[in-house]
Structure formats: C-alpha cells, structure tokens
Amino acid sequence: MLSQEEITRYNRHLILPGFGIECQEKLKSAKVLVVGAGGLGCPVLLYLTAAGVGEIGIIDFDTVDESNLQRQILFSVNDVGKPKVEVAAAKLSKQNPHVKFNVYAMRLQNKNALEIFQDYDIIIDGSDNFATRYLVNDACVLLNKPLVYGAIYKYEGQVSVFNYTDKSGITGPTYRCLFAVPPTAGSVANCSEIGVLSVLPGIIGTLQATEAIKIITGMGKVFSGKIMLVDALSMNFSTVELSRNEDAWRNTVPASPEDFLRTDYEFFCGNKTATSFLKTITVSELQKILELTNEIQLLDVREPHEQPQIDELIDLQIPLAEIKYRAAEISETQKVIVFCKAGTRSKRAIELLESEFGFTNLYNLEGGVTEWTKHYQLK
C-alpha cells in the first residue's frame, strides 16, 4: 500500500492513463540489482529511485575518480576517493527515502553472483567489460532472471533486454545469442582507453531504466528479441531483430551452478593466459607429419561456416565457443594439432583445455589456415 506521502510524490505516475496506483505498487514491491555504479549505473539508479522501485541493490568495487565526473552524474569532486556504492546509496536515499538500498562494495565474481542475484527480480548490467557481461548473462540464465543490457563505445550505444520470459511463457534471446564468444582480447578498447561522449551513458542508462520499469509494471512492450543501436552524432536510433539461438547459449552457458563456479570469465575473454608453455608447429612440419602418418588428431576450432575447408585438415571440428563442453571428443594420447584461421582462437582453445582439463598433447598450428593456404594451394 502507498502512504499518503508516496501518493503525493508519485502523483504524475498515478494520473497517467493505464498506470495508476496498481503499477506504482508494483514498483514499490520490486527488487532490482544494478551491476556497476558508473556511467550507465548512475542514470539507471537516479531514475529507478525517483520512480519508486522499492528495493535497489548496487554492486561495484571501485572508488570515485576525478575522471569519472565527466559522465557519472551521481558524484562530485567531494566524493573522489570514496567507494562508489556508499556515495551512491547515501545520495539516492536523500532523493527518495522510501527506497531501500543494498550496497555490495565488492567485485562481482562467480562465487558471489548467484547468491546476490537470486534476491532480485531484475538485473541491470551497467558494466564496462566483456568478462562481467558474460558472467552476468550466465548467472541470469541459470536463475531465470531478466537482464537489461546496455553498452557504450565512443559515440555509440546499445540497449536490449535478454532472457526475458513474456506473458505467454516464451523466453527471448540471451546475450550469448548475440555474442556467443567475446571479441579477441584487446580488439575493443574500454572508455578509459578510447573515451566516451559524456551524455551517451545518460541516454543509454535512461533507456535501461525505462525497460526495467516496463518489465515491473507490465506496461508497453518489453524490448526483447531486438537490440537498439544508438549513434549520438547522427542521432540515429536503429533496431535490429534478434532471435533466440538455442545452440549458441546451450553450448556456451554453464549447465549448472557448479559449472558456473568453475568458469574463469577473465580467461574466457582473453584477459589472462594459462601459465603453461604453448607448444607450436609450423605448416611445413605438419605437412611432413601428414606424409608419414595419420596417427594424429586435427582439431579445427573455427565456426562450421568458415572457409576454406581443406581436405587434408578435415578431422574434428569443435568451435571455440563449444570447446569446453566437448573436451571428451579430443584425444588425450595422440598428438593433437589445433588450428583456426590465423592461430589466435586455437591458442585460446589450447590454453583453456590445458588449464581446465589437463591436456598436455596439444600443438598450435602457427598462422592457421591462412598460413597453410599460402604454402599449399587448395585443390
């Protein structure tokens, strides 16, 4: 029930056609977790607090830095050096004393994600790195929680709702349906490396807050099954349709909480490497081996549609995204030559197999298929 003070505070909601007290009470009963109190998290938190979401969790391990002030609108110069979650909760409590705030001044990890997420109705991702995005997505899939996604890059942003189950019981795409595997480590810079337009996270974060309110109240149509691409310089908002790819997420999302706890997302995203020495083989060395024996296994970690397919190298194909779940198909006794287009994904596959499954018989084909075709013309 709303108090008289709340009825006065939320008057502009209550007089909206189709909204009224019922939707406002749904907001009051809702629990929303915001991952990250940075550029995206700040506008999300401000608007959800103003709207009257009853319980809001904030998780962020960082402190306020002066470089944050250009876009993270919850903070001021007096907050520099202080924990973001504590500053945010204190200021937001003054904005709306009817909201309960739970602060988690810690890094989101496998060991705490499921325990924290299970207490909330909706998860909003305001993170700025791929490892956290995949972790958040997988935790939401395991717990069947809707995920409001947002991302920013220089002058552009993205918004979508993942893993949302509609009124008919149909669940929409997950983050892995869009990005089954992360980009090559270092190929996409973050804000601290490439910069970001100050107002852009405000635009994207406000759209994320809008989707959360729609999910809670049942108003409108939730932005599931599509992704919005925002170009701030041209002020162009375009929409791309998405479909739920069962193979993409079933073969990549950990199958159980136990598998989730064992998944190293930093390693998966290429942010760290295995400590073992990587064994390699050149295309000329492989050619000589193939002339002498067939007692080896050739493992192609490219996607099935990638060309060219080379007759001499056709043996076992397991895309990198599936390698963890099909490790049993890989020989532990024969010499295994792992290859991809140029040698990068095969290296990551070897590092994963060695660190998580103890393989010692894997060799990376230097230069991959690209190098092979330079020396041996396709028939």
3-state SS record for 182-228: CCCCCCCCCHHHHCECCCHHHHHHHHHHHHHHHHHHCCCCCCECEEE
The residue out of 268, 288, 306 marking a domain boundary is 268
Average pLDDT of the residues in 307-334: 89
Mean pLDDT lowest for which of 85-99, 199-213, 232-246?
Answer: 232-246
Q: Which helix (H) or strand (E) holds 356?
A: helix 344-357
Residue 367, amino acid: G
Distance between CA atoms of 278 and 360, rounded to whole angstroms?
Answer: 10
> Measured in whole angstroms, how far is the alpha carbon of residue 318 from the centre of its chain?
23
Distance between CA atoms of 310 and 307, rounded to whole angstroms?
Answer: 8
Q: 203 and 139, same structural domain?
A: yes
Q: 115 and 175, same structural domain?
A: yes
The residue out of 212, 238, 268 marking a domain boundary is 268
Average pLDDT of the residues in 190-206: 87
CATH number of the domain that residue 103 is part of: 3.40.50.720
Residue 275 located in a structural domain: no
Band (pLDDT 50/70/90 cuts) for residue 72 is: very high
Residue 207 located in a structural domain: yes
CA 38, 43, 49, 54 dihedral sign is negative
φ/ψ of 57, rounded to 5, equals -100, 145
Tokens coding 14 = 């209550």
Q: 98 and 235, same structural domain?
A: yes
Q: 302 and 221, same structural domain?
A: no
Q: 199 and 140, same structural domain?
A: yes
304: domain range? Answer: 280-375
Return the percentage of the chain with pLDDT > 90, whole number. 66
Q: 169 and 102, same structural domain?
A: yes
Q: Tell me the CA distances in angstroms from 325 to 203, 225, 272, 339, one per residue in order.
A: 39, 26, 20, 18
Q: 232 and 128, same structural domain?
A: yes
For the chain, what is the domain count? 2
Q: 161 and 124, same structural domain?
A: yes
Q: 307 and 230, same structural domain?
A: no
Question: Helices marked H in 10-109 — which ranges?
Answer: 11-14, 20-29, 41-51, 84-95
Residue 14 located in a structural domain: yes
Which is catalytic among the residues 42, 177, 269, 340? 340
Residue 117 located in a structural domain: yes
Residue with tokens 């170009």: 231
- Is pLDDT above 70 for 185? no
Residue 109 located in a structural domain: yes
The residue out of 268, 288, 319 marking a domain boundary is 268
Q: 327 and 205, same structural domain?
A: no
Of 134, 143, 117, the residue nearest 263 (C-alpha): 134
**237 class by beta-carbon count within 10 Å (0-12 exposed, 13-18 middle, 19+ buried):** middle
CATH number of the domain that residue 330 is part of: 3.40.250.10
Q: 219 and 354, same structural domain?
A: no
340 catalytic? Reply is yes
Q: Is 93:139 a contact under the CB 8 Å cutoff?
A: no
Which is catalytic among the residues 23, 42, 191, 269? 191
Look over the chain and give the mean of its residue pLDDT values, rounded to a whole number.
Answer: 90
177 catalytic? Reply is no
Answer left, alpha or beta for residue 61, where phi above 0 means left and psi between -120 and 50 means alpha. Answer: alpha
Distance between CA atoms of 218 and 215, rounded to whole angstroms?
Answer: 5
Q: Does a cis peptide bond (omega within 30 degrees of 0) precede residue 308? A: yes
pLDDT of residue 377: 56
Q: 187 and 118, same structural domain?
A: yes
Distance between CA atoms of 267 and 220, rounded to whole angstroms?
Answer: 39
φ/ψ of 125, rounded to 5, equals -95, 110
Residue 250 located in a structural domain: yes
Give residue-wise pLDDT tens across range 272-312.
Answer: 554 447 888 898 888 888 888 778 999 999 988 888 888 88
